[in-house]
Structure 1
Amino acid sequence: MPGTYRTAHDTRSLRDTVRLNAARQGRVFRREDLRAWGLDATVVQAMVRKGHWRKMRYGVYVDTDDLRSSEGDASSMHALECAAAIKAMRLPAYVFGPSAALFHQLPVQNGLVHQPHLVRYPYRDIRVLNRSPNRPPSLPDVSVVSHELHPAQLTVWEGIPIVRRPLAAVSAACHARPDWAVGLLDAVLWDGSATRESLYEIIGEWPLLRGIGTVRRAAEVARPGAQTILETLSRVRLMRAGLEEPALQREFHDEDGLIGYADMFWESLGVIGEADGEMKYATRADIFNEKRREDRLRALGYIVVRWTWHEIMTDPRTVARRILAASQISRRRAG
């Protein structure tokens, strides 16, 4: 390609070629990438000046079309920021902690992801040998930890190197409040990407990671039966309010067959608990089917108690009292 791009067609062709190649590495690129793709790297300043490319970090660029497509989407924008941070580091690094949890669509509390979180190998002396005198010695607004990494713990997400779900959950839980830390571990137990044993193994491999004590305590109460973060927070807060630990996803049958699975079940109380999220009953048919399901459970002698996100987050003790009150009229109460 020519050293200058005088026509709109030349410029569009260059941009399309760069975007196609950059999509394989998180949509960002460096000058050396352009050379590797057989393109003229001397046009960077002109393309930036004309508003076609934007500098994300020192020596790292993105096409403005890709940048605009991410604006307004916090997750997409964060992915772009993580890709740029990794490119700026030059040596291999992987998305980690809350950033990795966000990419894996694990439950992340509001405000936890405010900067890229990365992990890299402990390069020791070679970091100095690879440092350019014209390049800042560290990346601003990026959290980076160093640790030995196993290939089995690593993967790629839309061209961006990232740790796998179990390590993402553990490393994100280090930054989370205790209840949310349990929710992160519950999530990977629920989808089968981890077991309690494998979680304890990961925790044991990262003894010096800041916040690992929170994760170790969370692992003690993490369970594979919580389908949503609301169910996790409900279980943890109700136990803190004095209730015994409930059974999760207990199935119930009557003479017509399977009724369904209960979010929580206190067998000794004869009470079924249901954490009702905003999206749980999206249609009138959902509401009708749930009412029919509850009628069948009551016919068996159980009492169903429901609560919302607001109720369990603001006043879990009142929810606990409602459950205990329901047990007084349950025909399936033990004893």
Structure 2
Amino acid sequence: MLVCMFICLSTSDLHDVGWTSHQITTALGCCLRRVRTGIYAVAKRCSHPNHEFIKAFATAKHVHLPVEESGMRKQDEDLRILVRSYTGRMPPETVLSHRSAIIVHGLPVPYFDQGSHPFAEAIHPRNGVRHTPMLVRRRELADDDIVVLDGTPVTSMLRTLADVARDYPLAFSVAVLDAALRQGRVSERAFTEYCEAHRPRTLRKRVETTLTLMDGRRESVAESICAVRFDEYALPGFEPQVEFFDEKGQFIARTDFANKKAKVIVEFDGEGKYHLMGNNPRAEMEKERRREYKLRNLGYAVFRIRWQDLFTADVFLRIRESMNSRLADFR
């Protein structure tokens, strides 16, 4: 299971079909995009008569072309193209790992630091080095820690998750692990047993915390990050995917998170939520308003969280204040 079918060609590939260096330079202003030294991505369809070779790729079924222009989606796309550029071109004994392996295994990259530039990641048994396009960590690798996908060596699913849990922030690693659990790619037991059998020399506590917070019931990256924030801001008792019914037993809603003891509900407002599947946004917003009204009639406080709220303290401090106040009233 590899990355979306972005097409990456090397200078050698282009020379082999008769392209000159001048043609490559000309195409860079048209239908090719430089990914790294000597490697180019097919960037768009064009009608230039000398670029028929590139056009054949660009118009092929299942081929993806770069479309993003800014923000986190562009960072994600750029990283996927960069990882794709290493397919069949890995340095000897080097194995794709961490975020690069996440992509190869078909898991989401939860988020990117603002302004960060993409770089591939790999492991080598003897050498660690940082180049502009790739970070290579020096780590031991057992034979069963390596799989080959589409001709490219990559860390196994379990090894990838363990590496991410060790080397990435908690919110990032829990979101990746939750996605793997949700997709049925790994079980909690299998990952726990792997981590217990392969304890890292450093950052062991971070891995252990990831194990305690993983939960495949969460349905999105945002929900996973939100659950980590609950832990970081000392907001216990929130359960995911809680169903509510009225006094007649009729279904009202299934919430992202609910703390029944404090009677607090937390919902994530995803981008484009009211535009999904061609639904009328105004009608969907009214439906959501009525749903929330019914939940409030059950005595619950309802907090709505946007993506940007996940990376600031404000809303979580307000949730904590509400929880403390409500728990005091219920005593």
Into which bin does the TM-score normalised by the smaller protein fall? 0.5 to 0.7
Q: Structure 1-normalised TM-score?
A: 0.66
- Alignment match, 2:299: 302
Q: SS at the partner of 1:217?
A: helix
1:192-203 alignment, distance < 5 Å:
192-203=184-195
- Alignment match, 1:293: 291
**5+ long unaligned stretches in structure 2:** 45-53, 59-64, 276-280
Verify the 8 A CA contact 2:98 2:121 in the aligned structure 1: yes
After TM superposition, give the deviation of residue 251 of structure 1 in Å. Answer: 1.6
- Alignment match, 1:257: 250
1:1-335 alignment, distance < 5 Å:
26-29=7-10, 31=12, 40=16, 43=19, 45=21, 47-48=23-24, 50-51=26-27, 57=36, 60=39, 62=41, 65=44, 69-70=65-66, 72=69, 73-85=74-86, 87-91=88-92, 94-101=95-102, 104-111=107-114, 114-119=117-122, 122=125, 140-145=132-137, 147-150=141-144, 155-156=149-150, 167-204=159-196, 207-208=199-200, 213-254=205-246, 255=248, 257-282=250-275, 283-299=281-297, 301-309=298-306, 313-315=312-314, 316-327=316-327
After TM superposition, give the deviation of residue 303 of structure 1 in Å. Answer: 0.8
The one-letter code matched in structure 2 to 1:188 is A
Q: SS at the partner of 2:117?
A: coil
The one-letter code matched in structure 2 to 1:77 is D
In the alignment, the residues of structure 1 paired with residue 130 and residue 174 of structure 2 have an alpha-carbon distance, to the nearest angstrom, of 33
Verify the 8 A CA contact 2:76 2:109 in the aligned structure 1: no
Verify the 8 A CA contact 2:145 2:156 in the aligned structure 1: no
Q: Deviations over 1:197-246 (max 9, x none)?
A: 22224434654487564233222122222223333333333344443232
Verify the 8 A CA contact 1:180 1:233 in the aligned structure 2: yes
In the alignment, the residues of structure 1 paired with residue 238 and residue 157 of structure 2 have an alpha-carbon distance, to the nearest angstrom, of 26
After TM superposition, give the deviation of residue 321 of structure 1 in Å. Answer: 0.9
Distance 1:178 1:305, change over 3 A: same
The one-letter code matched in structure 2 to 1:284 is R
Aligned-pair identity in percent equals 19
Q: Deviations over 1:80-108 (max 9, x none)?
A: 32233455535475542123445632312
Q: SS at the partner of 2:323?
A: helix
The one-letter code matched in structure 2 to 1:253 is F
CA RMSD in angstroms, aligned pairs only? 4.2
In the alignment, the residues of structure 2 paired with residue 115 and residue 212 of structure 1 have an alpha-carbon distance, to the nearest angstrom, of 27
The one-letter code matched in structure 1 to 2:300 is I
In the alignment, the residues of structure 1 paired with residue 201 and residue 23 of structure 2 have an alpha-carbon distance, to the nearest angstrom, of 42
Look at both structures and tell me which one has the larger radius of gyration over its CA atoms. 1
In the alignment, the residues of structure 1 paired with residue 149 and residue 25 of structure 2 have an alpha-carbon distance, to the nearest angstrom, of 36
After TM superposition, give the deviation of residue 306 of structure 1 in Å. Answer: 0.8
The one-letter code matched in structure 1 to 2:321 is R
Q: SS at the partner of 1:252?
A: strand
Q: Structure 2-normalised TM-score?
A: 0.66
The one-letter code matched in structure 2 to 1:48 is I
In the alignment, the residues of structure 2 paired with residue 112 and residue 166 of structure 1 have an alpha-carbon distance, to the nearest angstrom, of 30
Verify the 8 A CA contact 2:95 2:123 in the aligned structure 1: yes
Verify the 8 A CA contact 1:250 1:264 in the aligned structure 2: yes
In the alignment, the residues of structure 2 paired with residue 296 and residue 178 of structure 1 have an alpha-carbon distance, to the nearest angstrom, of 35
After TM superposition, give the deviation of residue 262 of structure 1 in Å. Answer: 1.8
The one-letter code matched in structure 2 to 1:80 is I
Verify the 8 A CA contact 2:78 2:118 in the aligned structure 1: no
- Alignment match, 2:278: none
The one-letter code matched in structure 2 to 1:306 is F
What is the total number of aligned residue pairs between the two structures? Answer: 289
Q: SS at the partner of 2:85?
A: helix
Distance 1:233 1:54, change over 3 A: closer
Q: SS at the partner of 1:238?
A: helix
In the alignment, the residues of structure 1 paired with residue 274 and residue 25 of structure 2 have an alpha-carbon distance, to the nearest angstrom, of 51
The one-letter code matched in structure 2 to 1:305 is V
Distance 1:90 1:46, change over 3 A: farther
